[in-house]
């Protein structure tokens, strides 16, 4: 090589530096910052020694939000949903909340895709973590940072009006592309009292939440969800029904001791 000596040496140094950086980076990350799920006791308990494959769950949250009481979150597990190999359960955690458990969703292949949208409560800027387990026992993980600022507006909403308490709403799939899973939106009017809020007189408002949600299609289990108090008031859940399925969608929300509300809708998803 005819390159001037100092030039080639410069290139060599740069290349060596670059290689060090590339090779060194993963170990440096491991040494300095662990994956977010490792810092959540409930998550490590659930995993029981298993190591989840990172990066296969996509979390869609606003980068910055002014309303920590209702942050829209979409979680999609990048995994097939056929009877042999499908996502069985999805767990959501908010690492910075007083109690990190947010919700867990149990899917069957009838759901068509392991994707849900809901709204959650976030106590300040933090990392939202999702773990998913397949029927083959494989664990997947994903995480996303959210910045939550104080509320810009003083709007408290007129939520004192509880005339529509426990009113369930469901919007069955419409306008679908053939072969695509159909989208179902559900919501029930419920304050989801955390048990952390105080009355004006200083006494604690007792915890009262919708604990369970179940969806069945013609008696066949489609999806079941367990909500914790970090799910926002008027719990909202968007989920999917596999293509080629037709029938009566039966939904059931439950408040713990058997009190609950049901709703039905017709679902007809083209092949």
Minimum distance between the CB of residue 85 and other proteins, rounded to whole angstroms?
Answer: 32
Per-residue DSSP letters for 170-186?
EE---S--TTSPEEEEE
Smallest distance, other proteins to C-beta of residue 64, A: 6
Can residue 62 be called a binding residue for other proteins (CB under 8 A)? yes
150 binds other proteins (CB under 8 A): yes
Q: Under a CB-based contact definition with an 8 Å cutoff, are residues 132 and 91 in contact? A: yes
- Which residues fall within 8 angstroms of residue 160, CB to CB, at 6 or more apart? none
- Of the candidate spans 7-15, 22-30, 56-64, 82-90, the one that interacts with other proteins by CB under 8 A turns out to be 56-64
**Which residues face 58 on adjacent strands?**
76
Q: Does 31 bind other proteins (CB under 8 A)?
A: no
Spatial distance between the Cα atoms of 247 and 262, rounded to a whole number of angstroms: 16
Instruction: State yes or no: residue 163 binds other proteins (CB under 8 A).
Output: no
How are strands ordered across the β-sheet holding 168-171? 57-60, 71-77, 115-120, 236-241, 182-188, 168-171
Q: How far is the CB of 232 from other proteins (least distance, A)?
A: 12
Q: Which stretch binds other proteins (CB under 8 A): 48-56, 92-100, 143-151, 245-253?
A: 143-151
| Minimum gap (Å) between residue 57 Cβ and other proteins | 18
Quick check: 185 binds other proteins (CB under 8 A)?
yes
Q: Are 247 and 134 in contact (CB under 8 A)?
A: no
Q: What would you measure as the largest C-alpha separation in the chain, in angstroms?
A: 85
Asked whether position 159 contacts other proteins by CB under 8 A, the answer is no
Binding segment for other proteins among 31-39, 151-159, 218-226, 251-259 (CB under 8 A)? Answer: 151-159
Residue carrying the six token digits 């604990």: 211
Which residue in 152, 202, 219, 258 binds other proteins (CB under 8 A)? Answer: 152
Instruction: Tell the smallest beta-carbon distance from residue 251 to other proteins (Å).
Output: 14
Comparison of 31 and 150: residue with beta carbon closer to other proteins:
150
Determine the distance from the C-alpha atom of residue 21 to the mean position of all C-alpha atoms in its chain, rounded to a whole number.
Answer: 34
The rounded distance, in Å, linking the Cα atoms of 126 and 36 is 10
Question: Which residue from 156, 174, 199, 203 is in contact with other proteins, where contact means CB under 8 A?
Answer: 156
Residue in 91, 115, 271, 255 with CA at minimum distance from that of residue 184: 115
Token pair in block for residue 46: 């659930």
Please say whether the beta carbons of 259 and 247 come within 8 A.
no
The distance of closest approach from Cβ of residue 135 to other proteins in the complex, given in angstroms and rounded to an integer, is 30
Is beta strand 139-148 parallel, antiparallel or unpaired with respect to 53-54? Answer: parallel
Q: Minimum CB separation from other proteins for residue 157, in Å?
A: 7
Binding site for other proteins (CB under 8 A): 61-64, 66, 149-158, 160, 169, 171, 185, 187, 236, 238
């Amino acid at each position: 090589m005819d390159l001037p000596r100092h030039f080639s040496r410069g290139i060599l140094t740069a290349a060596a530096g670059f290689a060090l950086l590339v090779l060194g980076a993963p170990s440096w990350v491991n040494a300095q910052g662990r994956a977010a799920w490792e810092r959540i006791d409930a998550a490590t308990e659930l995993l029981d020694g298993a190591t989840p494959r990172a990066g296969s769950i996509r979390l869609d949250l606003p980068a910055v939000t002014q309303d920590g009481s209702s942050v829209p979150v979409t979680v999609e597990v990048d995994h097939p949903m056929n009877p042999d190999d499908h996502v069985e359960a999805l767990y959501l955690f908010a690492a910075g909340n007083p109690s990190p458990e947010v919700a867990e969703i149990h899917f069957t292949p009838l759901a068509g895709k392991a994707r849900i949208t809901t709204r959650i409560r976030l106590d300040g800027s933090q990392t939202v973590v999702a773990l998913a387990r397949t029927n083959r026992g494989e664990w997947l993980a994903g995480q996303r940072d959210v910045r939550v600022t104080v509320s810009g507006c003083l709007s408290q909403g007129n939520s004192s009006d509880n005339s529509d308490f426990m009113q369930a709403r469901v919007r069955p799939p419409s306008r679908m592309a053939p072969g695509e899973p159909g989208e179902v939106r559900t919501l029930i009017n419920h304050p989801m009292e955390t048990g952390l809020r105080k009355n004006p007189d200083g006494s604690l408002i007792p915890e009262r939440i919708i604990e369970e949600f179940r969806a069945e299609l013609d008696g066949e289990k489609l999806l079941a969800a367990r909500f914790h108090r970090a799910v926002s008031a008027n719990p909202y859940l968007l989920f999917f029904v596999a293509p080629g399925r037709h029938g009566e969608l039966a939904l059931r929300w439950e408040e713990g001791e058997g009190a609950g509300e049901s709703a039905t809708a017709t679902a007809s998803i083209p092949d």
